A and B are shown apart, each in its own frame.
Chain A
Amino acid sequence: MLAYTVYSEAGGVGKTTLATNLAKAEVRAGRRVLAIDLDTQEASMSHLLDVAEDRNNDQADSLLRHMIDRPRGEFADLIKTSEGIDVVPAHNILEYASKHLRRREEEAADFGESWNPNKQLLRVLREAGVHETYDTLIIDPPASADIKLHNAIHATRHLVIPFEPSGKGYESVQGLDQLVGGLEESLGIEVGVLAVVPNRYKGMNDQDRFLEQLTADGWETQVRFRERSSLLEGCWAEQCTAYRYIETHRDREREHELETLEKFDALADRIREETAVKA
Chain B
Amino acid sequence: MKQGSADDPFADEAPDEAAGDAETDADSGLTDGPATESDSTDGPATDSGLASPETSPADTLSSQSRSLPYIHSRDGVKDGRTQRPVFLRDHIEAGIDDLVTQMEAEFGEDVYKTDVTEAAMAIAEERPELVREKLDEWGYGWS
Contacts and interface: CB of A to CB of B under 8 A. Distances in A.
Given A109-B23, A279-B6, 15 more contacts: A109-B22, A112-B77, A112-B114, A114-B22, A125-B10, A157-B8, A158-B6, A191-B1, A192-B5, A218-B3, A219-B3, A220-B3, A274-B5, A275-B5, A279-B2
Contacts of A187: 19-20
Interface in A94-137: 105, 108-110, 112-116, 119, 122-123, 125-126, 130-131
Interface in B6-37: 6-10, 16-17, 19-24
A112 B113 contact: yes
B76 interface: yes
B24 A114 contact: yes
A190 B2 contact: yes
A278 B5 contact: yes
Contacts of B77: 109-110, 112
B3 A192 contact: yes
Contacts of A184: 1
A193 interface: yes
B1 A193 contact: yes
Q: What 5 A-B pairs are tightest by C-beta distance, nearest first?
A: A192-B6, A114-B21, A131-B10, A114-B22, A188-B19
Nearest to A179: B1
B17 A274 contact: no
B8 A188 contact: no
A66 interface: no
Contacts of B87: 188
Contacts of A1: 8, 10
B6 A191 contact: yes
Interface residues of A, number: 46
B70 interface: no
A277 B21 contact: no
A108 to B, nearest CB: 6
Nearest to A126: B10
A103 to B, nearest CB: 13
B4 A116 contact: no
- For chain B, give the interface size range: 20 to 34
B1 A177 contact: yes
Interface of A: 1, 3, 105, 108-110, 112-116, 119, 122-123, 125-126, 130-131, 154-159, 176-177, 180-181, 184, 186-194, 218-220, 274-275, 277-279
A225 B34 CA distance: 61
A3 B9 contact: yes
B16 to A, nearest CB: 7
B22 A279 contact: no
Interface string B85-102: 101000000000000000
B35 to A, nearest CB: 24
A220 B7 CA distance: 20
A180 B1 contact: yes
B80 to A, nearest CB: 14
Contact of B9 (A112, A155, A219): A155
Interface string B68-89: 0000000011100001010100
A3 B2 contact: no
20 contacts: A3-B9, A105-B22, A109-B83, A110-B76, A110-B77, A112-B114, A115-B21, A119-B16, A122-B9, A123-B16, A184-B1, A186-B20, A187-B19, A189-B6, A190-B7, A191-B1, A191-B6, A193-B3, A194-B5, A274-B5
B23 to A, nearest CB: 5
Interface in B106-128: 112-114
Contacts of B8: 1, 3, 157
A126 B12 CA distance: 10
Contacts of B1: 159, 176-177, 180-181, 184, 190-193
